[in-house]
């Protein structure tokens, strides 16, 4: 899904799914921030399996940037239970704002999405499957197909787009990113879907574009940082 060569979701609700550690959270946050430039946005933290690196961790920071984060109330935010807030159904039914959903990883994390299936706004949502081909069990066509099949079965929704988020953290180079895009191109063709964009850290965006002028490049700003990288 792109507008003028840039990644820009046009459906009211954008849902990010994928394997554990594929980068769904960063993609969802950046999508919400981009949409928030134009319209009111609610970013829903549906991740009940990752204990630390999920949207709720940066709720305050995102609120300052104009994104309303929907997650369990403060006292329950770090509870080790799959708590869902009723505000989630509000985001699905309201048409005066955009909704971005960050779903937990693997088919296990997608169980939550399956429970929301009857409430999803037919014709007004898109499901993005995020892939980092540098992750174990996501490096091959067969493994990617297997995870899509499992998530589609558990979430009870079909995948509309793939997102190439191939990276090695700070050691990412453009060739690695574009090799990931190549693998996803094959998978997309086999499933009859398209690759919506390639997510990149800003420093290598130009290098990626030089190797792949077709796929929209989505420059990502990272929020999930380890404690020793905090400012002093």
Binding site for another protein (CB under 8 A): 20-21, 49-53, 78, 80, 106, 108, 132-137, 139-140, 167-169, 171, 179, 183, 226-232
Residues 25 and 3 sit within 8 Å (Cβ to Cβ): no
Reported as type and span, the H/E element at residue 27 is helix 24-36
Residue 49 CB, nearest approach to another protein (Å): 8
**Residue 118 Cα distances to 42, 89, 112, 113, angstroms:** 20, 11, 12, 10
Q: What is the CA radius of gyration of the chain?
A: 17
Q: Is the dihedral of CA 26, 188, 132, 137 positive or negative?
A: positive
Beta strands 6-7 and 2-3, pairing class: antiparallel
Contact assessment for residue 93 and residue 119, using Cβ atoms and an 8 Å cutoff: yes
Cβ-based nearer residue to another protein, 139 or 205: 139
Q: Alpha-carbon distance 229 to 177, whole Å? A: 24
Closest distance of CB 112 from another protein, Å:
16
We find the least distance from the C-beta atom of residue 170 to another protein, in angstroms, to be: 8
Q: Please report how close the Cβ of residue 162 comes to another protein at its closest, in angstroms.
A: 16
Nearer to another protein, 38 or 80 (CB): 80
With respect to another protein, which residue has the nearer C-beta, 20 or 84? 20
In the bound state with another protein, the residue whose beta carbon lies nearer, of 59 and 135, is 135
What distance in Å separates the CA atoms of residue 128 and residue 137, rounded to the nearest whole number? 19
Query: Which of 28/92 has CB closer to another protein?
Result: 28
Residue nearer to another protein on the CB measure, 118 or 170: 170
Shortest distance (Å) from residue 103 CB to another protein: 17
Nearest distance from residue 21's CB to another protein, in Å? 6
When the beta carbons of 167 and 198 are compared against another protein, the nearer one is 167
What is the C-alpha to C-alpha distance for residues 41 and 6, in angstroms, rounded to an integer?
19
Instruction: Report CA dihedral (151, 106, 110, 146) to the nearest 10 degrees.
Output: 10
Residue 43 CA to residue 32 CA, distance in Å, equals: 6
**Nearest approach, Cβ of residue 229 and another protein (Å):** 8
């Amino acid at each position: 899904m792109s507008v003028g060569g840039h990644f820009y979701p046009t459906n009211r609700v954008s849902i990010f799914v994928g394997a554990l550690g594929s980068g769904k959270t960063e993609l969802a946050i950046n999508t919400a921030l981009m949409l928030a430039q134009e319209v009111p946005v609610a970013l829903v933290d549906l991740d009940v399996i990752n204990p630390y690196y999920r949207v709720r961790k940066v709720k305050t920071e995102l609120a300052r940037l104009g994104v309303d984060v929907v997650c369990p109330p403060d006292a329950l935010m770090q509870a080790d239970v799959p708590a869902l807030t009723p505000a989630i159904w509000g985001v699905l039914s309201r048409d005066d704002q955009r909704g971005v959903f960050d779903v937990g990883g693997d088919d296990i994390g997608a169980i939550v999405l399956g429970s929301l299936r009857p409430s999803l706004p037919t014709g007004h949502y898109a499901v993005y499957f995020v892939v980092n081909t540098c992750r174990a069990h996501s490096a091959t066509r067969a493994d990617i197909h297997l995870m899509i099949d499992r998530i589609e079965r558990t979430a009870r929704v079909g995948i509309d787009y793939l997102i190439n988020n191939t990276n090695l953290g700070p050691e990412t180079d453009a060739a690695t990113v574009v090799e990931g895009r190549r693998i996803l191109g094959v998978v997309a063709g086999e499933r009859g879907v398209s690759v919506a964009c390639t997510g990149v850290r800003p420093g290598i965006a130009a290098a990626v574009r030089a190797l792949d002028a077709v796929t929209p490049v989505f420059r990502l700003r990272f929020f999930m940082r380890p404690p020793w990288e905090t400012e002093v």
